[in-house]
Amino acid sequence: MQFTWKFAKRFSLHAVAVAAVCLAPLMSLRVQADPPAADSSASQANGVSAPADRHLSRGERLARTALAYRGAPYRWGGRSPVSGFDCSGLVQTVYAKWGILLPRAARAQYQTGKPIAKSDLQAGDLVFFKNTYRRGLSHVGIYIGESRFIHAATRGKGVMISRLDSGYHLKHWAGARRLNLSKLPPVPGEERPVERVILEEAEASPESAAPAARVETETAGPEASEVR
């Protein structure tokens, strides 16, 4: 009996240690995943209020949506968390949940957005790789911060987190793109466009007796809400 208790205690300590090692890469990340059932991004994209971490940027919110699919299986041509994703299918699905429609293939996705240097990457950016299973641009993932990205890797691995600075991904790096994330909920304190109406005197003529109005859009802080 004493032997059984010692064995059980030792096994429990070993299990805790293994779990700590497996979770360590995610503990340092600012962005944590929501479970798919609790992911309210589709509702928010349609204008329905839903809880969200107000301290996250738009890109970090998008990355959190992607992290909800970690562990989903890989399937060529797939776009389902149940039957599986391929790399571009995962990207297309995550962005679509926020109302951002992307092309289906990785090569076409590479033509969207604006180029970003690796040193300027932010959560939510797309990262691309070349010459993986075929020549040319062939793989895509979503950057989540701290040199990590989430992607649908291969059969047997599924949707997983990898490092950009690993030897394989350094060798096959192709570039990055940043998309317009304005459809995501605004971040508190960010600047937003405010319309300003400017009245201009029209040239005197029999046809125009009133001044013409010109509408301009300028950038103002959250406090600026009046129309002048």
What string of DSSP letters covers 143-211? EEETTEEEEE--TTT-EEEEETTSHHHHHTEEEEEE---TTSPPPTT--EEEEEEEEEPPPPBTTB-S-
Kindly tell me if the per-residue pLDDT of 203 is higher than 80.
no
pLDDT tens-digit series, residues 58-88: 999 999 999 999 999 999 999 999 999 999 9
Q: Please tell me which residue in 14, 22, 55, 87 is annotated as part of the active site.
A: 87
Confidence bin at 124 (pLDDT 50/70/90): very high
Confidence bin at 228 (pLDDT 50/70/90): very low
Q: Running DSSP on this structure, what letter comes out for residue 224? A: -
Q: Please tell me which residue in 22, 55, 151, 169 is annotated as part of the active site.
A: 151
Question: What b-and-e string marks burial along 152-170, b requiring 16 or more CB atoms within 10 Å of the CB?
Answer: bbeeeebbbbbebeeeebe
Rounded Cα distance between 30 and 216, Å, is: 38
| Predicted pLDDT of residue 37 | 38
Pair type for strands 173-178 and 137-145? unpaired
- Find the mean pLDDT for residues 10-15: 49
- Find the mean pLDDT for residues 104-125: 97
| Predicted pLDDT of residue 192 | 57
Max CA separation in the chain (angstroms): 108
User: Are residues 50 and 183 in contact, defined by beta-carbon separation less than 8 angstroms?
Assistant: no
Q: Please tell me which residue in 14, 55, 139, 169 is annotated as part of the active site.
A: 139
pTM: 0.65
- Backbone phi, psi, residue 153, to 5°: -80, -85
87 noted as active-site residue: yes
Residue scoring higher pLDDT (142 or 54): 142
151 noted as active-site residue: yes
Give me the percent of the chain exceeding a pLDDT of 70. 59
| Predicted pLDDT of residue 155 | 92
| Predicted pLDDT of residue 204 | 47
Give the Å distances, CA to CA, from 168 to 129, 164, 172: 10, 9, 6
Q: Residue 126's closest CA among 70, 114, 170, 136?
A: 114
| Predicted pLDDT of residue 12 | 52
